[in-house]
Each structure stands twice: as C-alpha cells, then as structure tokens.
Amino acid sequence: MNPFKKLGLSDNVCEALAKKGFEEPTPIQERTIPMLLGEEADIVAQASTGTGKTAAFGLPIIERADEKMRGVQMLVLAPTRELAIQVAEEINSLKGSKKIRVLPVYGGQYIGLQLKSLQQGVDVVVGTPGRILDHLNRGSLNLSHITMAVLDEADEMCDMGFIDDIREILSQSNPDRQTLLFSATMPSQVMRIASEFMGEYKTVAVQPKKSEAPLTKQVFHEVSESDRFEALCRVIDVEPEFRGLVFCRTRSDTDEVARRLAERGYPAEPIHGDLNQSRREHILGKFRNGTIDILVATDVAARGIDVPDLSHVVNFALPQDPKTFVHRVGRTGRAGKEGTAITLITPREFRKLMFICRDSGVDISKEPLPKVQDVIYSKKKRINSQLDEIFATEDFETYLPLAREFLQERDPEEAMAALLRYAFGDELEHDAYREIHEAQRNDQRGGRVKMIANMGKNQGMNPKKFVNFLVNKTKTRPFKVQNVKVQNHQTTFTVPEQEVKFILRGLNRFPGKDGQPFCRKA
C-alpha cells in the first residue's frame, strides 16, 4: 500500500506526490497528517524548514478545502515573502486535480493584483503578517469563516516583531478555527501565542536539520548600499591570505566588481557566462597557479569551477534561494580544512538572509566590519612575514652595495622607513582608508522607528499594559506598536515612521523626569 495512502490521503494527492517523486513521508508528515485529517485539535509542532513541514500542513489543507465553498477557508502566515511564495507554490504543486485557488500575498507586490484575485475568490491565502493585516484593514480579506490557520516559522515571526500583528490577525479570524503552529524553537513569545489563541493543543517534535557546512565559519556584516564595495575591500585587506570566490548576482555586476578590485591593485578576475571557453580556462589557470587570488563569479558560471583550498567565500550579493546559498558557501571548508563564508547585506536584506539561513539549516552570526586599525595591523604582520621570508632565503645580495651606500649619510631607522614607504606606498597610513559605519536597522522591518518612554516595571508596566497606555493616550492602533521591551525605569518599542509625530505629541504632554521629554526617539 502507498505509504502516503496509509496516512489517510486521497488518491488524487497520492498521485500528485508520486509525480513529484515523493516516496516516503518524513517523520513530521507521519505524525502530523493523520492528526489533521482525523481530528480538529490544535497542534504545536517543533520542526524547521527542511523536515517536510510544508507538506505536513499543506496536504491536509488540500484535503480539507471544499471546492464548492465560497470565501477564504485556510490561512497560512509566514515571516517573509520568499517563504510565502514557496509555501503557496508547494501547495499548488500538490493539489492535483482539485480545483482550489491558492494566493500568496506579501509586501512589495502590486496590491492591485492581490485585490483583484481576492475579489474573484480564493480558498487558501498564504501571506506575510503586514500585508495580511493591510488587507484586513482595507476590508478586502475576510477571515471570519476560515477553518484552519497555520503559523509557519512562528519563532522567526516573533523575532521580526510580528507578534502583535499575529494577535490582531487571529483576533479577527474565526474563533472556532483549528490552529497549527510550526516553529524551529519554542521561546516564551511563541508559547504565549499558543496559550492565547489555541485550545487544548497537542505537541509534535522532530529533530531540526543540521548545518551542511560544519567546517565553514558563517558571518555577516551589515552595511549601507553605498559602502558595500568598501566593505568587500575591508574584508580582503584584513585577511593575511585571502584566496576566495566573490559572488555577484549578474554578469555586469561581476565585471564591475572585478574591474574596481583590479583598479585598486587586488589580483581579481571575473568569471561569467559571457566568457568564451579559452578565456575562462586562462583565468582559472591563473587562479590555480596563484597569479590571482580572487574570482568574482555568478552562480551559473561558478557551477563548473573546481578550485581547491579556498579560504573565503564572499556573498557580495544575496542569492535568490537557500539552495544556491548552501552551494556557494560549500565551496570553502572542504577536505577537513576550515573556511570562512562572509555575507554583506544592507538592513533591508536582513530578513531575507535570516530566511535563507533558517531554510538551509545554517548558523550565522553578525560581526562588526573590521576597523581601519585592524587592516593596518594585519598589513604590518604581512609585511613582517614577507621580510622574514626574504631574510630566510638570503636572496638580497644584489641590493647590499646600494644599502650600504644609502645608509652612509642616513639614520638607519629613517632609511628603513623611507624604503618601506617606497615599497608599500600609503598602505599603512590611517588617512588612506575611511571608516565604514555599521548600517542600523530601526528594527527587523523597514520603515519603523525605535522609541523610548520613561515608564517601566517600577511604574507597574508590562508589555500589554504599556500598549494599552499608548493606545489610550495617542490613539495609535495596537498592532502598530511592536518590539515592546519593558525595563525597570523605561520601555523601548517600535512604531511605523509615520506614527512618530503622533506618539511624541500624545506622550510629551506628560512631565518628564528631570525636565527631559517623557518619550523620545532612540
């Protein structure tokens, strides 16, 4: 018997699974699907992307959707537009001949298209919290009759500051719905959602996916778009031996980055699909023999590159999907040798990077970009190392007469300094570099501002009480107040940029401590 058939799935869905090459259900599918098909209990499932969780809730959505019913029947909330699109595509690919309409809705897409689709009729909506809330406020989306709500990657949504959006969305949906919560981890915010909006839920847990590149150190630097190239140079400068691949998104970007690196004296060449085979082989030959140390490549061109002993992979631009990200960073950290993968992002790209890393099972940490003094220190060590090698080989006999003549009327230290300046130019001059300041995110969502109010736990505040206080005094909608952190004497929170003036006007009518305003921007 078909193993998926044993879970209670229909012939139509089993055929769709077979066409996609699915042979055996994953552990999360085995445990979750029968529960969703056979009963209406709420479920909290601990499972990361890569465990088959999308099909675990997507297949029951397909089976339980009524082709004859009008209006939205199922809702899936996802933290990013990339995941929303991916989930919608997965459900569509598994529905077989069943005539149900699945619509992804997310910010950044022309809302007119979404409004038209919703007006024509949709059975399953997969969306990001911000855009779902937008449609609810417009009256273009009605969740009062949904039978199932899925919170996908709930911990990620909480980390991004969506918890209040989720509260608002669920409060406007059918109270008799079945609620499913999928999360890789179970922090207190996630469990608070479960306790607030779920009944007597059942729990399911599977082991998360492990990193595919354990020998590769993963870090990212957050910079402004205008500093991206300078940041790349800084990354190369600070490493004593940089031998790596720099990934760009397009062929023109590859040419541009390689050209700018070469102009600054870095041994770099581009690799992309426009190069003929002989040119490509010539460049790879230079890289293999050490004539150049940096290849600037597109993803397509890099697929055929076989170069050993890469110390670094740099994502100058983010890839489009997690699979490509894993393929990129897997170029280093091979054959038991450690490597480093560095990703350069702007604040607007933070959410996409977090989605990619979560989906690919990669642990990544944020690190500050190396400072000018770090670069100078590294270059001094490199110069010392190069001079030590020359001393060790004693390959300087030709220059001894000139050195003796040069030192006859000069101070030895000053003479040495002059020679170093002649050899290395302004590489050790602090003024030859400019500081690159870390780009700041107001929070994980663009267009929001962090604020501080002089009121905290000592005044009896908790997050809920503070939001109620803010709403009462400023008439701000509660879902607009996010990332509330109550400390002893103050509370930090974020609001949309356009709300700031109303918050300041409403709260600064109250006396502040020591003549300071009661509320201010952080």
472/507 same-domain check:
yes
| Residue 393: pLDDT over 50 | yes
Lowest mean pLDDT segment, chosen from 86-90, 174-178, 278-282: 278-282
Greater confidence (516 vs 490) lies with 490
Which of 29-38, 196-205, 387-396 tops mean pLDDT?
Answer: 29-38
In a domain, 439, yes or no: no
92/230 same-domain check:
no
Q: Rounded distance, CA 440 to CA 448, Å?
A: 12
| Residue 455: pLDDT over 70 | yes
Is 234 within 8 Å of 434 (Cβ atoms)?
A: no
Identify the pLDDT of residue 481: 82
Identify the pLDDT of residue 171: 92
* Rounded average pLDDT over 399-407: 87
29/117 same-domain check:
yes
Is 466 within 8 Å of 491 (Cβ atoms)?
A: yes
In a domain, 441, yes or no: no
Identify the pLDDT of residue 446: 53
Which of 99-113, 327-341, 372-386 tops mean pLDDT?
Answer: 99-113
* Rounded average pLDDT over 361-371: 81
Q: Rounded distance, CA 53 to CA 60, Å?
A: 12
In a domain, 309, yes or no: yes
* Rounded average pLDDT over 9-38: 90
Identify the pLDDT of residue 294: 94
Of the residues 322, 356, 371, the one at which a domain ends:
371
51/93 same-domain check:
yes
Looking at residue 192, which CATH number applies to its domain?
Answer: 3.40.50.300
| Residue 131: pLDDT over 60 | yes
Identify the pLDDT of residue 104: 94
In a domain, 437, yes or no: no
48/161 same-domain check:
yes
**63-101 burial by CB neighbour count: b if 16+ within 10 A, else e?**
bebeeeeeebbbbbbbbbbbbbebbbebbbebbeeeebb
**486-497 burial by CB neighbour count: b if 16+ within 10 A, else e?**
beeebbebbbbe
Q: Rounded distance, CA 492 to CA 63, Å?
A: 45
In a domain, 280, yes or no: yes
Lowest mean pLDDT segment, chosen from 183-187, 232-236, 412-416: 183-187
Of the residues 343, 371, 399, the one at which a domain ends:
371
In a domain, 31, yes or no: yes
Q: Rounded distance, CA 382 to CA 501, Å?
A: 53
Identify the pLDDT of residue 515: 64
Q: What's the helix, strand, coil split of the chain in %, to 5?
A: 45, 15, 40
Phi-psi region of 460 (alpha: psi -120 to 50; beta: other; left: phi over 0): left
Identify the pLDDT of residue 211: 42
Q: Rounded distance, CA 195 to CA 191, Å?
A: 6
In a domain, 94, yes or no: yes
252-294 pLDDT tens trace: 999 999 999 998 889 999 988 788 867 877 888 888 888 999 9
Identify the pLDDT of residue 214: 47
Sheet containing 178-183: give its strands across. Answer: 102-105, 124-127, 74-77, 148-151, 178-183, 43-46, 202-205
* Rounded average pLDDT over 414-436: 80
Identify the pLDDT of residue 383: 82
- pLDDT interval class at 442 (50, 70, 90): low
In a domain, 222, yes or no: yes
- The residue written with tokens 């040419």 in the block is 255
Is 362 within 8 Å of 329 (Cβ atoms)?
A: yes
Q: Quote the mean pLDDT of the chain.
A: 85
308/385 same-domain check:
no
Residue 482: phi and psi, rounded to 5, are -135, 170
180/259 same-domain check:
no
Q: Rounded distance, CA 476 to CA 470, Å?
A: 7
User: In percent, how much of the chain has pLDDT > 90?
Assistant: 34
- pLDDT interval class at 518 (50, 70, 90): confident
364/416 same-domain check:
no
Greater confidence (312 vs 441) lies with 312
Token pair in block for residue 185 = 């981890």
143-167 pLDDT tens trace: 999 999 999 988 888 877 788 899 9
| Residue 513: pLDDT over 80 | no
47-69 pLDDT tens trace: 866 678 899 999 999 999 999 88
Calculate the dihedral angle through the C-alpha atoms of 60, 61, 62, 67, rounding to the nearest 10 degrees: 130
Task: Give the residues across from 450 on adjacent strands.
Answer: 494
How many distinct structural domains can be found in the chain? 4
423-432 pLDDT tens trace: 777 778 777 7
Is 36 within 8 Å of 8 (Cβ atoms)?
A: no
| pTM for the model | 0.48
Looking at residue 454, which CATH number applies to its domain?
Answer: 3.30.70.330
27/106 same-domain check:
yes
Of the residues 159, 180, 205, the one at which a domain ends:
205
Greater confidence (265 vs 126) lies with 126
124/13 same-domain check:
yes
83/127 same-domain check:
yes
Which structural domain, as residue segments, surrounds residue 82? Answer: 5-205
379/349 same-domain check:
no
Is 126 within 8 Å of 102 (Cβ atoms)?
A: yes
- pLDDT interval class at 238 (50, 70, 90): confident
Identify the pLDDT of residue 49: 62
Greater confidence (68 vs 72) lies with 72
Q: Rounded distance, CA 321 to CA 324, Å?
A: 6
Is 119 exposed, middle or buried (CB count within 10 Å of its CB: 0-12, 13-18, 19+)?
A: exposed
Number of helical (H) and strand (E) elements in the chain, helices listed first: 20, 18
Identify the pLDDT of residue 445: 44
- pLDDT interval class at 324 (50, 70, 90): confident
